[in-house]
Chains A and B, each alone.
Chain A
Amino acid sequence: MHRTPTRADSRSRQSWMVNSSMNELIKLSATELAAKLRAGEVTSVQAVQAHLDRITEVDTALNAFLHVNAEEALAVAAEVDAIRAAGGAQAQALHPLAGVPIAIKDLIVTKGQPTTAASKMLEGWMSPYDATVIEKIRDAKLPMLGKTNLDEFAMGSSTEHSAYGVTRNPWDLNRIPGGSGGGSAAAVAAFEAPLALGTDTGGSIRQPGAVTGTVGVKPTYGAVSRYGAIAMASSLDQIGPVSRTVLDSAHLQELIGGHDPKDSTSLANPLEGLVAAAESGAAGDLSGLRVGVITELQGEGYQDGVQARFEESLELLKTAGAQIVEVSCPNLKYALGAYYLIMPSEVSSNLAKFDGVRYGHRVLPEDGPLTIERVMGATRAAGFGDEVKRRIVLGTYALSAGYYDAYYGSAQKVRTLIQRDFDAAFEQADVLVSPTAPTVAFELGSNDDDPLAMYLNDVATIPANLAGIPGITVPGGLSDGLPVGIQFLAPAFEDARVYRAGAALETLLEKQWGHSLISQAPAITADSIAQKA
C-alpha cells in the first residue's frame, strides 16, 4: 500500500515515453544545481541553455512563458561563470544561488522585459523600474529566463483568464495548471525552470503548486517586499517562492525577503533560519511538534482522493513523532465570503489607475464626443477581461454608499474573527495542516460559466491571506494520476515552521515512494505537443 499510485495505474491506455532528449541538468533541484556550479562541474551558461532548450522544446504545448529573456539570461550566466573562473574575493562574494536560472510571474515588474499582468491593458508596456525582489535577484546574479503566464491581474484559479492564452498542466495537457500563478508552477513542474517567483493573494502560489505537484510558499504578510508587484488586493498580496523542493523555496525566500523602505508594510526585520528549518525538517524527526488538523478544512467538499492522500500524510507525520490534534476554526466558513468582499473592494481601487491616461492601452470611442470619461470607459471595456470587470464591479458595489457597512465593514470584522480562531488554534498546535485545494486539477473550460464554482478552489488557501500567516504546499501524492497538495500553516513570523514541517513530510513521502512525485510526471512528447500547439 505504501507506493505512489502512478499515472500508469489509472491510465494504462496512455503511452509512457521516456524523454531521452531531456538534459540531466534541468532535473536538478536549485540547491543541487547551485552546488555543481560552485564546484565548477557545470557552468551557468550550460544550465541556462539547457533550460532555454527545454522551453523551446515544450512551451508551445504548455504556454507557461509569455516572454523568454534568452539574451539577458545568457549574459548574466556568462558573467557568473567569468567571476567564478577568475576566483578570488569576487567569486567568494557570489550568492550561493548565483547562476541558477529563475522564471518570474508576469505580475512582477522588470526593466528590460515586458510586463503585461497577462492583460491587454499592459500589452507592450515596459516598466521603467524593477520590483525590489527583481533587484535582489539581479544582485544575487540569478539569470532570469523570462516572464510566466497568469490569470489577468492575478484574478483566477486556472490561468484560463489570461489575455494571452491558457497555460496547460504538464501532468495532463487538457487540465488547468491552477491559478493565478499557473505559468510559474507549470514551468517548474515541466523542468523549464528550477525556481520561479509567484504572488499569492488567495492561494495563487499554493493552489497551482498543489495541482502541478510542486512546492510553493506564501510567506507571512510583509516578509517579502511587494514593491513592484502590480497590486491586486494590497492587504492580501504577497510575493513568494515556487520550486520542486522545500529546501529550494527556503533558499529563495531567504534571498527575496527582508525589509524594504519602498514598502511601508514590509516587516522591520528579516525572517531567518528558513533554510536551517528545511534542513532540520528533512532529517524526518518531528518529535514534540503539535500538528493541528483543521476540522473545517477537510471532509465535505474535498474529493475522496484528496482526502485519502491527506489522511495518509497525517499517519506519516505521526510516525515521525508529530502529535496530531484536532482544532476547530468555526469562522472559516465565512472566509470565502469575506475574501470576495475585501479582495474585489481593493481590486476596484487598485485597478482604477488603468485608465488610458499615463500608460498602457488607450481606446478612443468609435462615435460621439471625445471626452476623457468616454475614453476611459472604452479603454477599460477593451483592456480588461470578463473576470477583472466582474471583480471591479463587485468591489465598486461593496464599497458603494448604503452597502459599505453591510459588506466591506462586515468582511473586515470577519477577518478579526478568523484571526482569533487561528490564534486559539495555535495555542493547541505549532502548525496546522489541511489539503491545499479541494480537488485535483480540473479540465480546461469546465468552470467557464460558473465564476462561483471557480472561487471555491481557494477555500483552503484564502484564510491564510486574510490572517496574514505563512503557508506552504508540498506534493502529497496522486489521485487518479493527478497531484494532490498538502498545506501547512504557521503563526505570523513563524515561516520557519512551515519549512520544517513541509520538508519533513516531503522526505517521509519520498522515502516511502522511493522517488519524488515530480519524477512521475509524464513525459511531454512530440505527439502531445503536436496536438496542443
Chain B
Amino acid sequence: MSAISREDVVHLARLAHIEMSDAELDKMTGELGVIVDAIASVSEVASSDIPATSHPIPLTNVLREDIVGQTLSNDEVLANAPDSDSGRFKVPAILDGE
C-alpha cells in the first residue's frame, strides 16, 4: 500500500466538498498516512474465498405496503432551510458563471 500523497488529499477534499487551507492539507496528509499504514493489514487476511459482510444481522427484502404514511408539511420542511423562496429551497448558482 502506498502512503497518501498531498495530491491525494487535495483530490479527496475536493471529492468530499471540504475546503482546506495549505496548512490543513499538510497536517491531514501526515495524519492519514499514519492511520492508513496502521489499518492496511486488513487486506492481508482478506482472501477471495471469504464472503463480505455488509450488515451484521442477516435480513433480506424488508418490504412494506406502498401506502403514504405520515409526512412533514412544506412549512415544516422549510423551517430550518438556510434560504427559501416560494416554498422551495433557494441555493446559489449550480454552474460556474451563470
Task: List residues 7-43 of chain B with CB under 8 A from any CB of chain A.
Answer: 8-9, 12-13, 15-20, 24, 28, 31-32, 34-36, 38-43
Interface readout for A200-227 with B: 1 if CB under 8 Å, 0 if not? 0000000000000000000011100000
- Least distance between B36 CB and chain A CB atoms (Å): 7
- Determine whether A426 belongs to the interface, using a CB cutoff of 8 Å to chain B: no
Asked if A393 and B53 make an inter-chain contact with CB atoms under 8 angstroms apart, the answer reads no
B residues near A492, Cβ cutoff 8 Å: 56-57
- Least distance between B86 CB and chain A CB atoms (Å): 16
Say what secondary structure dominates the interface of chain A. helix
Q: Which of A338, A364, A369, A393 meets B18, CB within 8 Å?
A: A393
A residues near B62, Cβ cutoff 8 Å: 264-265
A126, A337, A455 pick with most chain B CB within 10 angstroms: A337
Q: Which of B16, B45, B57, B79 meets A468, CB within 8 Å?
A: B57
Asked if A416 and B79 make an inter-chain contact with CB atoms under 8 angstroms apart, the answer reads no
Q: Decide: A235 near B91, CB < 8 A? Known: A394-B32, A451-B31.
A: no
Asked if A338 and B42 make an inter-chain contact with CB atoms under 8 angstroms apart, the answer reads yes
A265 to B59, CA, bound (A): 8
- Determine whether A446 belongs to the interface, using a CB cutoff of 8 Å to chain B: no
Asked if A340 and B72 make an inter-chain contact with CB atoms under 8 angstroms apart, the answer reads no
- Determine whether A136 belongs to the interface, using a CB cutoff of 8 Å to chain B: no
Residue on A nearest B4 in the bound complex, by CB: A397
Asked if A381 and B18 make an inter-chain contact with CB atoms under 8 angstroms apart, the answer reads yes
Q: Which of B9, B45, B76, B92 meets A393, CB within 8 Å?
A: B9
Task: List residues 331-356 of chain A with CB under 8 A from any CB of chain B.
Answer: 331, 334, 336-338, 340-341, 348, 352, 355-356
Q: Decide: A359 near B17, CB < 8 A? Known: A413-B50, A414-B45.
A: no
Asked if A369 and B97 make an inter-chain contact with CB atoms under 8 angstroms apart, the answer reads yes
Q: Decide: A416 near B19, CB < 8 A? Known: A267-B57, A409-B46.
A: no
Task: List residues 43-58 of chain B with CB under 8 A from any CB of chain A.
Answer: 43, 45-47, 50-57
- Determine whether A360 belongs to the interface, using a CB cutoff of 8 Å to chain B: yes
A389 to B32, CA, bound (A): 11
Q: Which of A235, A348, A374 meets B55, CB within 8 Å?
A: A235
- Determine whether A273 belongs to the interface, using a CB cutoff of 8 Å to chain B: no
A residues near B28, Cβ cutoff 8 Å: 389-390, 393
Asked if B42 and A128 make an inter-chain contact with CB atoms under 8 angstroms apart, the answer reads no
Asked if A413 and B46 make an inter-chain contact with CB atoms under 8 angstroms apart, the answer reads yes
Residue on B nearest A263 in the bound complex, by CB: B62
- Least distance between B37 CB and chain A CB atoms (Å): 9
Residue on A nearest B59 in the bound complex, by CB: A265
Residue on B nearest A222 in the bound complex, by CB: B57
Say what secondary structure dominates the interface of chain B. loop
A residues near B77, Cβ cutoff 8 Å: 128, 358
A residues near B76, Cβ cutoff 8 Å: 128
- Determine whether A125 belongs to the interface, using a CB cutoff of 8 Å to chain B: yes
Residue on A nearest B8 in the bound complex, by CB: A397
Q: Which of A221, A372, A392 meets B16, CB within 8 Å?
A: A392
- Determine whether B95 belongs to the interface, using a CB cutoff of 8 Å to chain A: yes
A356 to B80, CA, bound (A): 11
Asked if B56 and A337 make an inter-chain contact with CB atoms under 8 angstroms apart, the answer reads no
Asked if B19 and A380 make an inter-chain contact with CB atoms under 8 angstroms apart, the answer reads yes
- Determine whether A31 belongs to the interface, using a CB cutoff of 8 Å to chain B: no
A residues near B17, Cβ cutoff 8 Å: 352, 355, 373, 376-377, 380
Asked if B35 and A452 make an inter-chain contact with CB atoms under 8 angstroms apart, the answer reads yes
A residues near B46, Cβ cutoff 8 Å: 409-411, 413-414
- Determine whether A396 belongs to the interface, using a CB cutoff of 8 Å to chain B: yes
B residues near A128, Cβ cutoff 8 Å: 72, 76-77, 79-80
- Determine whether A39 belongs to the interface, using a CB cutoff of 8 Å to chain B: no
Residue on A nearest B15 in the bound complex, by CB: A396
- Least distance between B18 CB and chain A CB atoms (Å): 5
Residue on A nearest B55 in the bound complex, by CB: A235
A389 to B28, CA, bound (A): 9
Asked if B80 and A412 make an inter-chain contact with CB atoms under 8 angstroms apart, the answer reads no
- Least distance between A50 CB and chain B CB atoms (Å): 35
A residues near B32, Cβ cutoff 8 Å: 390, 393-394, 397
- Least distance between B43 CB and chain A CB atoms (Å): 4
Asked if B38 and A337 make an inter-chain contact with CB atoms under 8 angstroms apart, the answer reads yes
B residues apposed to A, CB below 8 Å: 1, 4, 8-9, 12-13, 15-20, 24, 28, 31-32, 34-36, 38-43, 45-47, 50-57, 59, 62, 64, 72, 76-77, 79-83, 89, 91-97
A-B contact pairs, 13 of them (CB 8 A): A128-B76, A265-B59, A352-B17, A372-B93, A380-B18, A389-B24, A393-B16, A394-B32, A409-B52, A410-B45, A412-B52, A412-B53, A416-B52
Q: Which 3 pairs show the lowest CB-CB distances between chains A and B?
A: A468-B56, A362-B82, A412-B52
